[in-house]
Structure 1
């Protein structure tokens, strides 16, 4: 017995020693990887004028609930503050001829340009926010306003039993809207659909679209939608009875009409009839290819915030609006719209050439990502596809900029499996290869991450940031 016990004891100690040695070796490996990352990231940063600029923290995101003129027309979290455009225009060292926004979204850039009387061009593949951008930047006549008010009187008189727009084929529709709310919305959309395409229709559709989230059973969060009867707690999400959800007990027709009246009242306050300003041109195509149609040296300022390299499918956020508007009728329609966008997530067709044409630092970082820590094996290819698309776009921007013109990019960095992808300085390096000068990389704010990922990459979390990258096309380049 004693021999057997001694044998077990010796075996146990040896096993413990082996485990400790293995853990030590693993930690050394992790430390080595972190040091490699840190060196790459540090060298990239040192190549450019990277600095903290807390004054830009409020500029890199919009405040949809701020009540600002035109900002209140539609809740769009992905935009940036109009003050960012105003500041860029004021600081531009040449006469502003025209402005380009390759990812114009709900039109922050286009609105600022319109109000300043500067011609502008926007690209936006999402037809929902394209409608909103057009509506914000139309020149409305007194006759347009009279037509809008006439239709709004019809809306307030609408009642059950009137013709309704076609019911969308969205599978979760009955979970998203109560029946009385859905019937009211489709009845009113039928009234709007009968208005000819143009200023009035865009205005009415924007107001109608803006009310959908507020009268639905869902709200936008992160990369999609969440149900209002799912409450976040310290122990995760829990389901509560619908009767306890604020506003759920309000009768549907009254709720929809009340929200529409409030929304349209605010929008009408922002409109100045008969003011003639330069209206933007909004193209509903991908800017990566569509920019080929913009004339050489015709742009003074390009300012935009592209989708981040974070594998978010931003189109999913607007799936309710896409279906309810009638702009999509099948799931194939949804995919077709999504596939026109920048290749920034794994749900898109991804083909990456074998040739290594991107910055070497990007390949070195991606090679450090442990594939077992990824939720999708396509992520590395998606990262490369993203930067290939951005390089093609930046080449187009460079061609369209006049000498002395500037390009301002609002962008956030990301991380996969504890490996940072420093999109801001990588885009700066690509821009230099294309002929740009990099004026600055202003770090506006630092981004949060999960506590688990933060612990795993503690020395590197400072590189998770949102920045404004300012590029210049030198004179007589």
Structure 2
């Protein structure tokens, strides 16, 4: 018999704070315009409603670092994991608190000077990012960057590499470069992918324009925040317990019985591959340098997309999941990708593994805030929040309530039958 959980409509409470967009003018978070994720207010709201002061937290899907950064600001230790090398770089740069104004300004000055005397042919000393569509060639109909834009980016990359000799500041300046990459490109983030901007063919920036985008960022928001950091000391640093790699393989870094708070928003079951969305940053910053490296990264991500094939997966023992799969099976021949059923099974197998690990890492009295969204395939809505609630209880947890956060639009393939999907925050006690 299906268990009925305490369900509460909290859209008035959550509708705005679940969006990272609120962070666009917030200290440190504004260094890079992350699209997905929740705002710092979501973390603050959780801390305000807790009946205890957490001693140690866990964020298994770090993303841009909102959870460990905000918990650090509240002097709370937080283990975190991130599989994307770009997101890991972004998170650890935001967690760093050893920057000082004098050193920062010194490096800004030498980088500015370096950019005033750039190499005529920068590609002799800085290689282009890998891929066939980075720049215009005889074979390309569309390309990611006009020549002057990519040369301006390579100028900056070369300057950072050659005159910023302190690793912490080199990483900081690299994030400043990352923050202008899409702006300098012919692309924009369009949901699950990168698409070409309207009129991109004639939207051409000079090398100097690109330099100025970068230097303006350094001299404005980065300089302002470095001044704040240099005046404040933090007693807790979460950068040393932020790990790069697949949390499923690396969670052993977290001691058993230590965690009393988990706040996370795992990749949704929506076929969105975040390596695609942040492909420009991965390539331009030389974090991914071949198709083989890209495939390996995708293999290590949570199984929430169909960009890599998975072995045949049987569904976990869950009645809600089996009911959804049965309803879908009638329409599978009309699906846009035959691997979707297998992906759905793999996703919940990953969730079951994670909650079994959470049970080892948490101590009694701990609490989990788990942000997920329902999915739709073959005209069938998958109740992801309720299935995860079932999984949590099967692993020894107690679901206190499921809070509706907001409604999300469905994909064009599903919109005829399902107009919206529920995003939820599951509150789980241990």
Q: TM-score, normalised by structure 2?
A: 0.90
Matching residue of 2:193: 224
Residue 141 (structure 2) pairs with residue 186 (structure 1): no
Alpha-carbon distance in 2 for matches of 1:68, 1:437:
35
Query: Contact 1:94/1:404 (CA < 8 Å) preserved in 2?
Result: no
Residues 426-441 of structure 1 aligned to structure 2 (within 5 Å): 426-441=387-402
Matching residue of 1:269: 224
Matching residue of 1:133: 91
Query: Contact 1:110/1:120 (CA < 8 Å) preserved in 2?
Result: yes
Matching residue of 1:148: 107
Per-residue CA deviation, residues 279-329 of structure 1 (Å, 9 max, x unaligned), is: 212211111221122101211211111111111111111111111111121
Residue 70 (structure 2) pairs with residue 123 (structure 1): no
Q: 1:123 to 1:380 in 2, by over 3 A?
A: same
Secondary structure, aligned partner of 1:439: strand
Q: 1:451 to 1:137 in 2, by over 3 A?
A: closer
Residues 90-129 of structure 1 aligned to structure 2 (within 5 Å): 90-129=48-87
The more displaced of 189-198 and 108-117 is: 189-198
Residue 55 (structure 2) pairs with residue 61 (structure 1): no
Q: Which stretches in structure 2 are left out of the alignment for 5+ residues?
A: 136-142
Residue 312 (structure 2) pairs with residue 347 (structure 1): no
Report how far residue 182 of structure 1 moved.
Answer: 0.8
Query: Contact 2:324/2:382 (CA < 8 Å) preserved in 1?
Result: yes
Per-residue CA deviation, residues 106-160 of structure 1 (Å, 9 max, x unaligned), is: 1111110121121211111111111111111101243642453344433542424
Secondary structure, aligned partner of 1:86: helix
Alpha-carbon distance in 2 for matches of 1:198, 1:121:
22
Alpha-carbon distance in 2 for matches of 1:83, 1:471:
20
Aligned length: 410
Per-residue CA deviation, residues 157-188 of structure 1 (Å, 9 max, x unaligned), is: 24242754211222110111111111111121
The more displaced of 160-169 and 103-112 is: 160-169
Residue 290 (structure 2) pairs with residue 330 (structure 1): yes
Q: 1:59 to 1:352 in 2, by over 3 A?
A: farther
Q: 1:152 to 1:114 in 2, by over 3 A?
A: farther
Larger Rg: 1
Query: Contact 1:140/1:274 (CA < 8 Å) preserved in 2?
Result: no
Query: Contact 2:374/2:384 (CA < 8 Å) preserved in 1?
Result: yes
Alpha-carbon distance in 1 for matches of 2:129, 2:180:
17
Per-residue CA deviation, residues 385-438 of structure 1 (Å, 9 max, x unaligned), is: 000011111221222122211111111111001111111111011000111111
Matching residue of 1:14: none
Report how far residue 449 of structure 1 moved.
Answer: 2.3
Q: Which stretches in structure 1 are left out of the alignment for 5+ residues?
A: 1-42, 230-239
Alpha-carbon distance in 2 for matches of 1:411, 1:186:
38
The equivalent position to 1:418 in structure 2, one of 372, 379, 400, is 379
Q: 1:300 to 1:241 in 2, by over 3 A?
A: closer
Query: Contact 1:103/1:306 (CA < 8 Å) preserved in 2?
Result: yes
Query: Contact 1:288/1:390 (CA < 8 Å) preserved in 2?
Result: no
Q: 1:223 to 1:450 in 2, by over 3 A?
A: closer
Residues 255-404 of structure 1 aligned to structure 2 (within 5 Å): 255-264=209-218, 265-271=220-226, 272-273=229-230, 275-277=232-234, 278-280=236-238, 281-354=241-314, 356-369=315-328, 370-404=331-365
Per-residue CA deviation, residues 37-57 of structure 1 (Å, 9 max, x unaligned), is: xxxxxx85x611112112111
Matching residue of 1:205: 174
The equivalent position to 1:448 in structure 2, one of 405, 409, 422, is 409
Matching residue of 2:138: none
Query: Contact 1:368/1:419 (CA < 8 Å) preserved in 2?
Result: yes
Q: 1:352 to 1:274 in 2, by over 3 A?
A: farther
Per-residue CA deviation, residues 226-283 of structure 1 (Å, 9 max, x unaligned), is: 1113xxxxxxxxxx4733xxxx254x22211221122212022112116432221221
Alpha-carbon distance in 1 for matches of 2:103, 2:359:
39
Q: 1:395 to 1:149 in 2, by over 3 A?
A: same
Per-residue CA deviation, residues 432-471 of structure 1 (Å, 9 max, x unaligned), is: 01111111111011122257734435xxx56x21111111
Secondary structure, aligned partner of 1:273: helix
Report how far residue 358 of structure 1 moved.
Answer: 3.1
Alpha-carbon distance in 1 for matches of 2:112, 2:121:
15
Alpha-carbon distance in 2 for matches of 1:385, 1:241:
39
Query: Contact 1:126/1:284 (CA < 8 Å) preserved in 2?
Result: yes
